[in-house]
Amino acid sequence: MVHLSIPEAQKIALLSQGLCSPAPRRGVISSTLESVEQLGYVQIDTISVVQRAHHHVLWSRNAQYQPAHLEQLVANKDLFEYWSHAASYLPMKNFRYTLPRKHTFKSGQQKHWYKKDQALMNSVLDKIKNEGPLMAKDFESKVLKRTGWESKPTKQALELLYMQGDLMIVERRNFHKVYDLTERVLPENVDTSVPTDQEYGKFLILNYLKAHGIGTLLEMSYLLKGSKALIQQSLIELLESKQIELVSVAEQKFYTTPHSLDLLNKRLYRNRAHLLSPFDNVLIQRKRIAQLFSFDYQLECYVPAAKRKFGYFCLPILWAGQLVGRADCRVDKPSSTLQISHLFIEKALKHSDTFNEALSKELNAFAQFNHCQRFHIVKRSVLI
């Protein structure tokens, strides 16, 4: 068994994620598609105090990226929306691996949080079939408000039809979903065959290891309900066929691939600071990032204001292959300023002058990405 040091494991994880890597040489549309295919998914989130997560994640891999590039890839049918561990953009070439989840919803094996009204769902489907792509606002129905979180019955029907595969999201208008029949959205050459359990299990493993380099059973089955036993069996088969192997990091066993181990021979670019989204693929599993990078991170927008330690929307800062701080950011539109309410730097940070220069460049670039003319740091602290 290969024994990896913590720095070696960090290097594999970062390079697998397309971070601390050289700038892409291909056109921005092609490199954006490559990023999503490498990552496996890009999570969609509604919070917009800065650019939304799906755009931020892609910009972190390519500073030339703009939101219109993602929209173009959806229009080109290279990417589509569906569920990963959360709502996400996925590569169209992996479409068939969304079918097992869709079939569990359609068959009733997996329950949605919305209750099925088959007659209403049929009516919604017929309206879209006859009229073309529609949004939730194009359907009239009343909702009985009890908690303030309820949605219209027709909106629920749309989501159920989407989750079970009858509808797809063809585009978004002002972030609102536009639904159409799946058969009218899919490109002609896409593979729609349902994978066997063996194929699906192997896909979940290899797709995860392609994106993350190393991983455990629990990490690979993260928020994928009912997948653990299947992944466990597929791990045995992939080990036997030598498509994957076991390595140890700090006395814990991880699975990896020969390709991931080859990344140890590549250079880790340490000169750029990365301001990461809280929903970035590299740190979405908080226990993993704490173990590999000794970085304890929590997104505090869901925490009551009085209990927050770092702020509403703190962005982790990656530099020189380490997570070295966090910045509580928001866009102030009236002043066209990226406001950093509080910048926190880890005490262990070395070469602070070099870091400050790199961070200033990143904050300036991130301000421009957020259509701001400048950035302003209100307060700066060193963590003890």
Q: Enumerate residues 6+ apart whose C-beta is below 8 A from 343.
A: 325, 326, 327, 328, 377, 379, 380, 381
- Among 346, 284, 296, smallest CA distance to 17 is for 284
What ranges do the domains of the chain cover? 2-45+52-78+192-265, 95-185, 273-382
Residue 177, phi then psi, degrees to nearest 5: -75, 140
**φ/ψ (deg, to 5) at 251:** 70, 10
Question: Going residue by residue through the chain (384 aa), what tens digit of pLDDT does each one get?
Answer: 899 999 999 999 999 999 999 988 889 999 999 999 999 999 999 999 999 999 999 999 999 999 999 999 999 999 999 999 999 999 999 999 999 999 999 988 887 878 899 999 999 999 999 999 999 999 987 766 554 446 789 999 999 999 999 999 999 999 999 999 999 999 999 999 999 999 999 999 999 999 999 999 999 999 898 899 999 999 999 999 999 999 999 999 999 999 999 999 999 999 999 999 999 999 999 999 999 999 999 999 999 999 999 999 999 999 999 999 999 999 999 999 999 999 999 998 887 899 999 999 999 999 999 999 999 999 999 987
* Residue 105 contacts residue 164 (beta carbons within 8 Å): yes
Q: What pTM was computed for the model? A: 0.94
Farthest-apart Cα atoms in the chain, separation:
65
> What pLDDT score was predicted for residue 209?
98
DSSP 8-state class, residue 164 = T
Say which DSSP state 134 is in.
B
- Residue 101 has what pLDDT? 95
